[in-house]
A and B are shown apart, each in its own frame.
Chain A
């Protein structure tokens, strides 16, 4: 069964820490995405990548960076975690959008 795996289901980090969220897909998809999900705001795109070492900013990139050194892995980095980054983070991958995205189960990050 094809899937997207996010390394942690729950994380608790301290303010100011550097945080890495990892995402791996086994479908050879070119496109990968990071969203955050917040109540009342839905899903908001942070960054996406359409090829190895390629990245583009989404709608809310401030405070985040990404890394894609291999096709199957897309990492989200919080350079200095803040409490307003407490959220559910969802990774997704796809061929073209019309085939649909495949989402991971999410990482619930709490910054204290």
Chain B
């Protein structure tokens, strides 16, 4: 079946540190991959996406590259801010429909 595995959190970083949140997936076919972010007290928001191998999605300083050979879609940011504190979800759509399969989420805490 289709599944997404994320690194467990919480991840605690100092402001301006480099961020990596790992995400690997299992899927048949050629999935599209997504990162969603959930700020405290809010619903999820689409952060970035990539629809085919070697695509790089980017938004708000965050990046992720669709690596088919390693079945990965790791989220990175060069310099995090306190305002980036949130829960980050990796997700996939296996293709041929509109359902998303989400990972368990990784909480990021950024401290001054």
Contact = CB atoms under 8 A, between A and B. Distances in A.
B26 to A, nearest CB: 15
Given A97-B32, A103-B45, A48 B99 contact: yes
Interface string B51-90: 1000000000000000000000000000000000000010
Contacts of A105: 41-43
Interface string A29-41: 0010101000011
Nearest to B97: A97
B9 to A, nearest CB: 11
Nearest to A35: B102
Nearest to B106: A42
A43 interface: yes
B28 interface: no
A84 interface: no
Contacts of B99: 33, 45, 48, 58, 97
A50 B102 contact: no
Interface in A62-112: 90, 92, 94, 96-98, 100-101, 103-106
Interface residues of B, number: 22
B104 A42 contact: yes
Interface of A: 4, 31, 33, 35, 40-45, 48, 50, 58, 90, 92, 94, 96-98, 100-101, 103-106
Interface of B: 32, 34, 36, 41-46, 49, 51, 89, 93, 97-105
Given A92-B44, A94-B98, 17 more contacts: A33-B99, A41-B104, A42-B102, A43-B89, A43-B105, A45-B99, A45-B101, A50-B98, A90-B44, A92-B43, A98-B93, A100-B46, A101-B36, A101-B44, A101-B46, A101-B100, A106-B43
26 contacts: A4-B43, A31-B98, A33-B99, A35-B102, A41-B104, A42-B89, A42-B102, A42-B103, A42-B104, A42-B105, A44-B102, A45-B101, A48-B99, A50-B98, A90-B44, A92-B43, A94-B98, A96-B98, A97-B99, A98-B49, A98-B51, A101-B100, A105-B41, A105-B42, A105-B43, A106-B43
